[in-house]
Copies of this chain bind each other. A is one copy, B any other.
Amino acid sequence: MMGKLYGVGLGPGDPDLMSVKADRMVRSTQNIAYFRKQGRAGRARKIVDGMLRDDAVHFAMEYPVTTEIPLSDPRYNEILSAFYADCMAHLEKLVKAGEDVVVLCEGDPFFYGSFMHLYTRLKDVIPVEVVPAITGMSAAWTASGAPITWGDDILSTVMGTLDEDTLTRAMTDADALVVMKIGRNLPKVRRALAAAGKAERAVLVKFASMEGQEMCPLTEFTDETLPYFSIIIVHGQGRRP
C-alpha cells in the first residue's frame, strides 16, 4: 500500500489564516517536509511553529546556493533540476514505503510556488494531492483596506523580474495590479508604473498578515530595494453602484 504526498498551502503567514484542512493535516502528520535556504529555519516551517507532533520526522529541502549564477545560464537549471531530483527520490521512497508526507508550502501551492516542481515530477509516479490556500496577494489587498477589483476590472499579477517593456505594457492594459518578486527590481517597477500612469495609486504592503505588517503609498517609500515579503498593489476603479 502506497502512502500519499500532500502539498499543503499554509496561506500568507498568519497561522489563523490556514485552512481548517491544512491545520488538521499539519497537526496530525508524522512526516513533514519543507523547502528552506541553507542556514535558515525556513519560512513555511516557521508558520507552523508549535503545531507539529513531537515525534514528527522532518525533511528539510535546502535550496542550493545559486545567487552567483544568472537565470539565463544553463548551469542554473542544471543545479536546480539536480536538487529537485534529490528531494523527489527521498519523497518517492517514503510514499512507496506506505508513508503519508505533508510538504509545507507558503501561500497557495499552485500559484508561483516551489512545490510545483515536485508535483510535476511526481504526480504520475505516486499519489499526490494539493490543498489550496489563501495567497499572499489576498492578504496584501486585505491589509490595504480597499477592494482590489470591482465590476469587470481586469486584474493582472506581474513579477518584478520581467523586462521593463513587458512590465509597462501589462501595467497599462490592466485595471488592477499585483506586483511580486520585486526586491532589487524596485527602480524598474517604479518606472514601469509611472509609464503606465499608475504610480500615484500604487500601494506597498510589507509582511501582509505577519508580524511587522506595514503599508504606505509607494510614492512615500524611497528605498531602492524591498524585502521578500513585499507586494505592490494598484486597486481597480471599476463599476460600482
**Taking beta carbons and an 8 Å cutoff, which residues of A are in contact with B?**
11-12, 14-21, 23, 71, 76-78, 80-81, 84, 108-113, 116-117, 119-120, 123, 130-135, 138-139, 141-142, 145-159, 161-162, 166, 169-170, 173-174, 181, 209, 239-241
**B156 and A152 contact, CB distance less than 8 A:** no
**B156 and A174 contact, CB distance less than 8 A:** yes
In the complex, what residues of B have CB within 8 A of residue A134's CB?
19, 108, 132-134
In the complex, what residues of B have CB within 8 A of residue A162's CB?
152, 154
Provide a sorted-by-A list of 5 A–B residue pairs whose CB atoms are within 8 angstroms.
A16-B21, A112-B149, A123-B145, A135-B138, A154-B157
Q: Give the contacting residue for A19; candidates B19, B110, B131; CB below 8 A.
A: B19
Copies in the complex: 2
Q: Which residue of B lies closest to A176 (CB)?
A: B157
A48 to B112 Cα, complex, angstroms:
30
Question: Shortest distance in angstroms between A158's beta carbon and chain B's nearest beta carbon?
Answer: 5
